Amino acid sequence: ASFPLLCFRSALVTPLIFGLLLQAPCTQPATITQPNFVLLLADDLGIGDVGCYGNDTIRTPNIDRLAMEGVKLTQHIAAAPLCTPSRAAFLTGRYPLRSGMDAINDYRVIFWNAGSGGLPPNETTFAKILQHQGYSTGLIGKWHQGVNCESRNDHCHHPLKHGFDYFYGMPFTLISDCEPTETPEMDRAFRRKLWFSTQVIGLITFTAVLGRLTGLISVHWKTLTCLAGFSLLFFISWFSSYGFVRYWNCIMMRNHGITEQPMVTERTTSLILRESISFIERNKHKPFLLFLSFLHSHTPLLTMKKFLGKSRHGLYGDNVEEMDWMVGQVLDAIDKEGLKDTTLVYFASDHGGWLERQEGERQLGGWNGIYKGGKAMGGWEGGIRVPGIFRWPGVLPAGAVIDEPTSLMDIYPTVVNLAGGTVPQDRVIDGRDLLPLLRGAAARSEHEFLFHYCGVHLHAVRWHQKDTGAVWKAHYVTPIFSPPGAGACYDRGFCPCFGEGVTHHEPPLLFELSQDPSEAKPLSADTEPLFDTVIRKIGRAIEEHRRTLTPVPEQLSVSNVVWKPWLQPCCGTFPFCWCDKEDDN
């Protein structure tokens, strides 16, 4: 009675086993759950500054090695062309205007540690989600997302309030004012106007007093006293902030405590590297997230002596080569601890290189390769197309190159999903999980449209036509280069987002980036049969996108970006703020 049953089972099992034996071997290993993450983000680095993106004169062997051992993205796009909004988008996976971190005015970044604007406490960063997943989370380097809201120690915008267990670095950003020997950089044109106004008021006061003493004019002493008092108050009102930028903005912190005020720039690079390696060593036995936010390659280009004069591109090239060495040191630390195969490493820049940053004959900003424009330009590729490299041995293919549109905002869902977390469902997340694309399981990016803002002003839109692979880009607003044809706004120092310094295009300028990545030849209805169809398609996408936007408080409004003495981080008794606890140690 059991023989027919046995034969029946054999008839079922044998083909199943045979089919499994004939099945092609699995080409992709199972994803390791909860890998470590090392996110390396450069500051102001142009896509043309890196060897694996075509530069053959600046030496970047360690970044190039990452690309050889991993996946290189050739169309990796920042959500904004400046530090504060781009980094807000990176941390939250959302266009910065959704969190109020893009500007309606000319103040397009956090300007003071003592401002009240910053990344809102109700935003959920990927670090906060990973923290809940049991990760040790650390931020080393630049923050530039604000510090306080209402009092000196509320730390409402501080990294420790946004999911990081450990912070060492600058709550602000590196600027030339941090280096006493450099020409001041911060609000340079406005400061000149303030100095001029102070001199005019002072001259008027001095002339009036002299005229009264010589009897040439009849003015009451009371009037002269009021005029002198006004002159003094006007001077104090601005010099109390702009006169002490190095003390107010150029500080280093460890968690909530200030370690250097002002920072000692000669040792900043070595301390940031030491802290990064120490974080890896301390957390090697549990999952960790290290966000190493470089101060390189922002002016004043802090560079150690052993790298000075070593490159073929002056101080800027020296600085980039030093950063590449730091990348190598971090990778060596990962290897030394046996973490290479369980660590996803990511390298990118927050936006394009700063073309206008020059001092005399010295070029202190980056190069954006074949792409038009640079830092501060929300539409042109040079301001937003950046390096993007992922390495995860055994999981991601080595030496792969992907030309699909991707975004810095994609890091958010990618990291969260790999860590076993859940992307927030109560808000719009603009990033897309990159893992299927990186592993080769998907051929196309999930992004159909990417919206390119300059402040809160929409300058351009990219449409990825998936059925053909075409990448169309329509420019509605472009900056007016000065001098004309120069390729940047050299007369201003930064290209504006609105006003007299921009041109509005109707119909918009249209480019097909896969055929014209340099955006040199705008298409028209006469030269491109699909012109009207493409413009209509992008126009509908803009309407749908705008329906997803909701009003939020403007974090970069004038009232939020101005210096407020009661919010100034201070390691002494305000206004006597100076200390060097690193030297004490």
Domains in the chain: boundaries: 36-174+251-443+558-580, 188-242
Q: What local confidence, expressed as pLDDT, does residue 11 receive?
A: 44
DSSP letter assigned to residue 87: H
pLDDT tens digits, one per residue of 399-416: 999 999 999 999 999 999
Q: What local confidence, expressed as pLDDT, does residue 584 receive?
A: 64
pLDDT tens digits, one per residue of 224-253: 899 899 999 999 999 999 999 999 999 999
Q: What local confidence, expressed as pLDDT, does residue 28 receive?
A: 45
pLDDT tens digits, one per residue of 324-342: 999 999 999 999 999 999 9
In the three-class reduction of DSSP (H, G, I as helix; E, B as strand; rest coil), residue 487 is classed as coil
Q: How confident is the model at residue 433 (pLDDT cuts 50, 70, 90)?
A: very high
pLDDT tens digits, one per residue of 499-515: 999 999 999 999 999 99
Q: What local confidence, expressed as pLDDT, does residue 408 receive?
A: 98
Q: What local confidence, expressed as pLDDT, does residue 362 receive?
A: 87
Strands 288-293, 36-42: pairing kind? parallel
* Sequence-separated (6 or more) residues with CB below 8 Å from residue 519: 371, 372, 380, 381, 473, 511, 513
Where helices occur in 106-162 by DSSP H, the ranges are: 126-132
Q: How confident is the model at residue 359 (pLDDT cuts 50, 70, 90)?
A: confident
Q: What local confidence, expressed as pLDDT, does residue 114 receive?
A: 98
Q: What is the average per-residue pLDDT within 186-198?
A: 89
pLDDT at residue 26 tops 80: no
Q: What is the average per-residue pLDDT within 337-362?
A: 95
Homologous superfamily in CATH for domain 36-174+251-443+558-580: Alkaline Phosphatase, subunit A (3.40.720.10)
Q: What is the average per-residue pLDDT within 446-474?
A: 97
Q: How confident is the model at residue 585 (pLDDT cuts 50, 70, 90)?
A: low
Please, what is the average pLDDT of the chain?
93
The alpha carbon of residue 347 and the mean position of all alpha carbons in its chain are separated, in whole angstroms, by 12
* Percent of residues, the chain, with pLDDT higher than 70: 94
Which two tokens mark 456? Answer: 């809160």
Q: What local confidence, expressed as pLDDT, does residue 514 receive?
A: 95
Q: What local confidence, expressed as pLDDT, does residue 20 receive?
A: 37
Q: Is the pTM of this model over 0.85?
A: yes
pLDDT tens digits, one per residue of 477-494: 999 999 998 999 999 999
The answer to which of 81-95, 231-245, 342-356 has the lowest mean pLDDT is 231-245
Q: What is the average per-residue pLDDT within 173-181?
A: 94
Q: What local confidence, expressed as pLDDT, does residue 571 receive?
A: 95
d(CA 158, CA 147): 5
Residue 561 amino acid letter = V
The answer to which of 124-128, 204-208, 268-272, 327-331 has the lowest mean pLDDT is 204-208
Instruction: Output the CA angle 577-583-585, nearest 5 degrees.
Output: 115
Q: What local confidence, expressed as pLDDT, does residue 221 receive?
A: 86
pLDDT at residue 12 tops 80: no
Q: Of 460, 296, 331, whose CA–CA distance to 38 is shortest?
A: 331
Q: What local confidence, expressed as pLDDT, does residue 222 receive?
A: 87
Residue with the larger pLDDT of the pair 258 and 104: 258
Q: What is the largest CA-CA distance in the chain?
A: 134
Q: What local confidence, expressed as pLDDT, does residue 48 receive?
A: 97
pLDDT at residue 314 tops 80: yes
Q: How confident is the model at residue 2 (pLDDT cuts 50, 70, 90)?
A: very low
Just list the catalytic residues.
83, 144
d(CA 291, CA 97): 23
Q: What is the average per-residue pLDDT within 531-550?
A: 98
Q: How confident is the model at residue 155 (pLDDT cuts 50, 70, 90)?
A: very high
Convert 380-413 to b/e letters by CB count within 10 Å (16 or more is b): bbbbbbbbbbbbbeebbeeeeebebbbbbbbbbb
The answer to which of 182-196, 226-240, 342-356 has the lowest mean pLDDT is 182-196
What element of type H or E holds 324? Answer: helix 314-336
What element of type H or E holds 485? Answer: none
Q: How many beta carbons lie within 10 A of that of residue 109, not counting itself? A: 21
d(CA 534, CA 465): 10
The answer to which of 21-25, 256-260, 287-291 has the lowest mean pLDDT is 21-25
Contact between 137 and 288 (Cβ < 8 Å): yes
Q: What local confidence, expressed as pLDDT, does residue 82 receive?
A: 98
Q: Of 503, 443, 436, 450, whose CA–CA distance to 476 is shortest?
A: 503
pLDDT at residue 194 tops 70: yes
pLDDT at residue 16 tops 50: no
Q: What local confidence, expressed as pLDDT, does residue 32 receive?
A: 61
Measured in degrees and rounded to the nearest 5, phi and psi for residue 450 equal -125, 135
